[in-house]
Amino acid sequence: MQISAADIARLVKGELIGDGELLVSGFAGIKEAKKNELAFLSNSKYEPLLLDTQAGVVLVPRQTVCPGKTLIRVDNPSLSFTEAVNHLLKDAPDYKPRGIHPTAVISPKAKVASGAAIGAHTIIEDGATIEKGCVLYANCYVGHETHLGQNCLIYPQVVLRERVVLGNRVIIHSGTVVGSDGFGYTTVDGKHMKIPQVGSVLIEDDVEIGANVTIDRARFDKTVIGEGTKIDNLVQIAHNVRIGKHCLIVSQAGIAGSTNLGDYVILAAQAGLVGHIEIGDGAVVAAQSGVTKSIRAGEQVFGSPAQPIKNAFRNNAHIQRLDKYVEMIKDLRKRVEEFERK
């Protein structure tokens, strides 16, 4: 659907500055938004972004000025943005399953709240509990005594093994496996003897997990994904890892056993972390980096093995100039030899 700037202003009770007939059909962050999209500026200190944005219409704090831009001034731009997004999507079709499909296999010892939706061929084992508002698509597996909080959304073919705990509003995409055994062995007489993995996994409120992710259960205790953390596709989370709140773990990253992440940590794509280290709050690991040591809060690292990002960039720049440096060395040697001959 499309909506005019004037209609958005009416919807969010804002003050329109500029062209009220401008139409938007989508929305995005202020850096990525295009001409026909709505964006927002949360804080007036970011006003310089207004000069560069392609966004057709921007929700802004009350005092904001940017001549030539179509703005809508509001008290709380982020809140108004959410309202406008929901409005833009209100006519989108809803493909979610409803009710309990007759082919679902639900143990009489499981508790499914009335109103929860269970798709075709989904299996709910003994002692599992599914709270109200949950939607499970087709072909899922919910193991024994696993708990889903309210309003979880589970796409087709997700496996939640036994005794996994999900908070409220958790979203899990297709093909993801939560609660598989950790990779733990003790080598006895040349054979790798399996160390039983009898812990569990706790996924807190508002976590979203992408497709074909693997999250292993802890050996004894629990693997934890903190509130509001978002995990992209094909990520590996090993046993006993603890991830804090509001982290972003991008596609194909991997975290080895017993490593702890603070809050607001970012792991870019294909990053790898060894086991038994600590990653401080707000730390950032660049793509493909291999982290072998603990990282302090706020630190940014890059490379394999990872180093502070400034060092990594400086070293990479030097590596690009090695040819020149080698020439310099050879030239110096020639000049020194000349002296020695004299």
Minimum distance from CB of 67 to its own copies (Å)?
Answer: 26
Query: Are the CB atoms for 229 and 243 separated by under 8 Å?
Result: yes
Q: How far apart are the first and last CA of the chain?
A: 85
Strands 300-302 and 307-308: antiparallel
Query: Which residue's CB is nearer to its own copies, number 65 or number 326?
Result: 326
The distance from CA 236 to its chain's CA centroid, rounded to whole angstroms, is 13
Query: Which residue's CB is nearer to its own copies, number 135 or number 155?
Result: 155
CB-count burial class (<10 Å; 0-12, 13-18, 19+) for 14:
buried
Minimum distance from CB of 126 to its own copies (Å)?
Answer: 8
310: phi > 0 → left, psi -120 to 50 → alpha, else beta; which?
alpha
Query: Which residue's CB is nearer to its own copies, number 113 or number 319?
Result: 319
CA angle in degrees (0–180, nearest 5) for 141-146-149:
105
Q: Which one, of 52, 46, 43, 8, lies nearest residue 27 by Cα?
A: 8
Which residues are known catalytic residues? 239
Minimum distance from CB of 3 to its own copies (Å)?
Answer: 14
Query: Which residue's CB is nearer to its own copies, number 20 or number 107?
Result: 107
Minimum distance from CB of 73 to its own copies (Å)?
Answer: 18
Query: Which residue's CB is nearer to its own copies, number 20 or number 297?
Result: 297
Minimum distance from CB of 275 to its own copies (Å)?
Answer: 9
3-state class (DSSP) for residue 120: coil
Identity (one letter) of the amino acid at 214? T
